[in-house]
Amino acid sequence: MSAFPNLAPTRVVAPAAATVRSAAAIRDMTYHLHPSSNLAVVQSEGPLVISRGEGVYVYDEGGRRYIEGMAGLWCAGLGFSEKRLAEAAHRQMLELPFYHSFSGKVPAISTELAEQLMGVAPAGLSRVFFANSGSEANDSAVKLVWYYNNALGRPAKKKIISRMRAYHGVTVASGSLTGLAFAHNDWDLPAPRVLHTSTPHYWRGAQPGESEEAYSERLAAELEALILAEGADTVGAFIAEPVMGAGGVIVPPAGYFERVQQVLARHDILFIADEVICGFGRTGQMFGSQTYGIRPDILTCAKMLTSGYQPMSAMMVTPRIFEALLRQSEKLGVFGHGFTYSGHPVPASVALETLAIYRERDIVGHVRAVAPVLQDGLRALADHPLVGEARGIGLIGALELVRDKRERASFDPKMGVGNRVVANAQRRGAIVRSLPGDIIAFSPPLIIEPHEIRELLDAVKGALDDTWAQTRSI
């Protein structure tokens, strides 16, 4: 039986009208193995083929426009038509299209990016390792915890504590850290050495009359009890997203990270901050760690590092960790970890230009300015009969759908209510995403303007109304 029985993935509800499949859709159905999809539905209904983008909008092959309420996959912070990023990639392709960072060599532009990242990173981080995706960055963080503790002569201190509903990727290691059923079921995960503690979802998890601070204290006590039960000398790290993304856009309750860090400090356990979604402005600060007072030993990031225009991720570490790696690699003769494309010059060039645009246009300031439009709009939708809770911060948010608002009772997953809302929103020209538990997620491009946020919310309001009518007839 799954360790997360209430998080079973639901079947995507296809549009009611018959779909006329294009030649491109048929080719896709014939040759493409889709990631993170219900393959049977893709085969029966075909994909939505997106052909171009402009600003916060994308267009399908028939020319129909959709406002992209998820920035693709939480990542296209600068939208879908930033020419400066395309020009940066082109320049770099002409100058040095590839070089590696193995054996003491490095593309010059990768060094420049490392320096720039250290200039915006949370205080206390000093070195950066490059990879190609958030999954790879988190996988690297797991290996680093093991290597670091071996270097310190603590070979037993290897377990990693994650959280239920966390999303940290889908490699063997990062998929084990993920606390969602779809990443475990029939994949023979989680692997050994990975543990999960409670989700910090106050609305769902708090006891009657329990304050946010008291709830945070209780969860920290649960974490400490798990550490003591396992043996603190066997636990190497704790990993957390500042705001949980694919697990439901769970915003931490007041005092949560302060209390968690106190527990970790007592037992000399590293804190890995997974900033793959929150990093580079999503929460209204450059990093979610800055929003919530997290002092990470290791920080991973990806997605908006290049605004999603090129695959690239990074793992940053403190001087204390780097010094241990330095000594151990001297002892062994090599730091035996890295990828062919670590610090690839083309995505490095795009990342540098992305950081320049964030700085020149004060994108983080823009997020803070427009965030109230999204957050107030989501909270207004909390009055809808389908919505149990509206939550979020900055330009990330969610609506959790319920069958009974007073009892906070969820729908039968087989009804696929969240997927109905997504399908109805798509018919109305908006792309949002349904997460496990009938949760509708929002993560628009950081450049979105107030009128575009209202357009997105209007489409979702209509989709909720459509779905309410459909569910009442079932």
**Domain map (residue ranges) of the chain:** 5-81+362-472, 83-360
Pair type for strands 57-60 and 50-54: antiparallel
Confidence at residue 471, expressed as pLDDT on a 0 to 100 scale: 86
| Residue with token string 């590293």 | 270
Spelled out in words, what is the top-level CATH class assigned to the domain 5-81+362-472? alpha beta
Question: Mind listing the pLDDT tens digit for each residue in 213-236?
Answer: 999 999 999 999 999 999 999 999
Q: Could you give the percent of the chain with pLDDT greater than 70?
A: 96
Using DSSP, state whether 147 is helix, strand or coil. Answer: helix
Does residue 373 carry a pLDDT above 80? yes
The enclosing H or E element of 372 equals helix 363-380
210, pLDDT greater than 70: yes
Q: Which residue has the higher pLDDT, 369 or 15?
A: 369
Looking at residue 472, what is its pLDDT? 82
CATH architecture of residue range(s) 83-360: 3-Layer(aba) Sandwich (3.40)
Q: Which residues are CB-contacts of 378 (< 8 A; sequence separation ≥ 6)?
A: 390, 391, 392, 397, 398, 399, 442, 457
Q: How far is CA 77 from CA 70, 364, 395, 434, 459, in A?
A: 10, 11, 10, 20, 21
- The pLDDT tens digits of the residues spanning 275-326 come to 999 999 999 999 999 999 999 999 999 999 999 999 999 999 999 999 999 9
CA angle 84, 131, 176 (to 5 degrees): 125
Burial 301-334 (b: 16+ CB within 10 A, else e): bbbbbbbbbbbbbbbbbbeebbebbeebeeeeee
347-363 tens-digit pLDDT:
999 999 999 999 999 99
Q: What is the pLDDT of residues 128-159, one digit of tens each?
A: 999 999 999 999 999 999 999 999 999 999 99
- 473 pLDDT band, cuts 50/70/90, is confident
Tell me whether domains 5-81+362-472 and 83-360 share a fold: no
What pLDDT, on a 0 to 100 scale, did the predictor assign at position 474? 64
Mean pLDDT of the chain: 95
What is residue 248's predicted lDDT score, i.e. its pLDDT?
98
How confident is the model over 180-202, as a mean pLDDT? 97
What average pLDDT does the segment 32-54 reach? 93
Categorize the per-residue pLDDT at 19 as very low, low, confident or very high, splitting at 50, 70 and 90. low
**pLDDT score for 6:** 37
**pTM, rounded to two decimals:** 0.94
pLDDT exceeding 90 applies to what percent of the chain? Answer: 95
Q: For the residues 239-262, what does the mean pLDDT come to?
A: 98
Taking the C-alpha atoms of residue 315 and residue 82, their distance in angstroms, rounded to an integer, is: 26
